[in-house]
Structure 1
């Protein structure tokens, strides 16, 4: 069975370098502190994935509805003026601006995918109703992991821990490419791992409408992992990848990193 995501044409950002993380806050996200409040450096927000680590109501009780999947916690991703919710049932996005120690979130839009798990399906509402209007915002960056806290008018408090994005970790923008991953792995050589199996990949090319262009590259083993991708035998995938150059890699280590951006096509292949 072949599954092609409906947003494939929008996902194909022609194999060109991705925009670098903003060097300074955009006008819509410039933070002006209220009297006695610390300024929020909004340019820090796009440099991290913000993983939800704690959520309590006004009585200090944990909001369990926001912690449905321990392996995939809710996260926030920021761009210059957009906020995206990650790991909910549907994709959720909205505009935002920061001023006077508050973040103001515009009306959130989301896709309409049905989720069979009722608890997961209710996650969309649980997070959307807490990300609306004006919330008090604080950002702590002096620790090893920065912390972002949002407090709603009703006292609900959401605390997020920042995990560096790939652009932050690798010190610059990556190049967007598309790799087709074969349904089955192939043997590959490794000095320390006998009988090692590697992903079998080839590069693909698409135009801005999601139509294939040119000739696919040659199949070859990829002797390193793709960050964020777990291969399932028997499933062929086409992946949108961010490829980063690694500065000063250790001896015998790869000088390139591959990070999964999106699965744009998936097909179960008969054995």
Structure 2
């Protein structure tokens, strides 16, 4: 009887193993059959790991808070008067800066400035400063010279909206006061994005619901050397690629950033990064 009892348990365990193995194989087949499903699940998995590890992070610093926003200059005052050198760049929302990984990047609409930054005794200090050297309008040249030099030694005062989506940053350096408006970055809201590459057919396709706004796209994978190793199946994509403008005269391969947004109306946000390849179609000839 003892032997028969062990045999029954072995049979039941074996059957359970077969059932589990079968379900696993079916699930793997479904994911592999659609490259987008596989890539998007990787995005979701990465986002989940980031959320799980967020409980172990160090206390937030002022630089961490500043890095959560993209900043646009909205006001400049010098010796309690409006700093007129900034009038044009403020009116056209050209002066911007970001912090990422201890690196500051800024522009006043012409050249781009970068520097390593550190906070000491309440002041921001820059090092390894670098800038492009393009010819600019006189108004931009004056504004960017003042702006780039002002970061070193500045004090910053940050206030946030109740939901953290918007913020105001006041920068003070001697007699110059700059006021910046911040918009929360997608990375601060949803974690680090996954980079993907899509080929986009020049011709928009009719969607299942009759809409003509679907793009025909397929995913492309590259190895570490930048060599193409795989192309996915074509599919119709109805969503929005933020920052991308479709051109029916071009066949494009673009690099996009994908954010997993479990509490958003859509599960993913797709953001255009850059064009990897552009090919003119016969429509141009």
Taking structure 1 as the reference length, the TM-score comes to 0.70
72 and 183 in structure 1: CA distance in 2 versus 1, 3 angstrom threshold: farther
111 and 188 in structure 1: CA distance in 2 versus 1, 3 angstrom threshold: farther
Greater Rg over alpha carbons, structure: 2
Matched, 1:140 2:159: yes
- Aligned residue pair count: 232
247 and 53 in structure 1: CA distance in 2 versus 1, 3 angstrom threshold: same
Determine which structure has the larger helix proportion and give its number: 2
Long gaps (5+) in structure 1: 1-14, 31-39
Question: Residues 230-249 of structure 1: matches in 2 within 5 Å?
Answer: 230-249=245-264
Output the CA distance in 2 between the equivalents of 1:87 and 1:20: 34
Question: Residues 27-176 of structure 1: matches in 2 within 5 Å?
Answer: 41-65=62-86, 67-68=88-89, 73-85=94-106, 88-111=109-132, 114=134, 118=137, 122=141, 124-125=144-145, 127-131=147-151, 133-141=152-160, 143=162, 145-153=166-174, 155-170=175-190, 172-176=191-195
SS of equivalent residue, structure 2 residue 239: coil
Q: Highest relative contact order (Cα 8 Å, sep 6+), 1 or 2? A: 1
Task: Tell whether the 8 Å contact from 1:178 to 1:240 is kept in structure 2 after alignment.
Answer: yes
Shift of 1:183: 3.3
Matched, 1:177 2:196: yes
SS of equivalent residue, structure 1 residue 52: strand
Output the CA distance in 1 between the equivalents of 2:119 and 2:260: 33
Corresponding position of 1:34:
none
1:221-254 deviation digits (Å, cap 9, x = unpaired): 211001222334424443322212221454xxx3
Task: Tell whether the 8 Å contact from 2:76 to 2:177 is kept in structure 1 after alignment.
Answer: yes
Corresponding position of 1:221:
236
Output the CA distance in 2 between the equivalents of 1:42 and 1:82: 10
Output the CA distance in 1 between the equivalents of 2:119 and 2:224: 33
Long gaps (5+) in structure 2: 1-41
Corresponding position of 1:207:
223
SS of equivalent residue, structure 1 residue 230: coil
SS of equivalent residue, structure 1 residue 108: strand
64 and 257 in structure 1: CA distance in 2 versus 1, 3 angstrom threshold: same
Q: What root-mean-square deviation, in Å, do the aligned CA atoms of Structure 1 and Structure 2 show?
A: 3.4
Output the CA distance in 2 between the equivalents of 1:143 and 1:66: 30
Task: Tell whether the 8 Å contact from 2:74 to 2:180 is kept in structure 1 after alignment.
Answer: yes
Taking structure 2 as the reference length, the TM-score comes to 0.67
Corresponding position of 1:258:
270
Shift of 1:161: 1.6
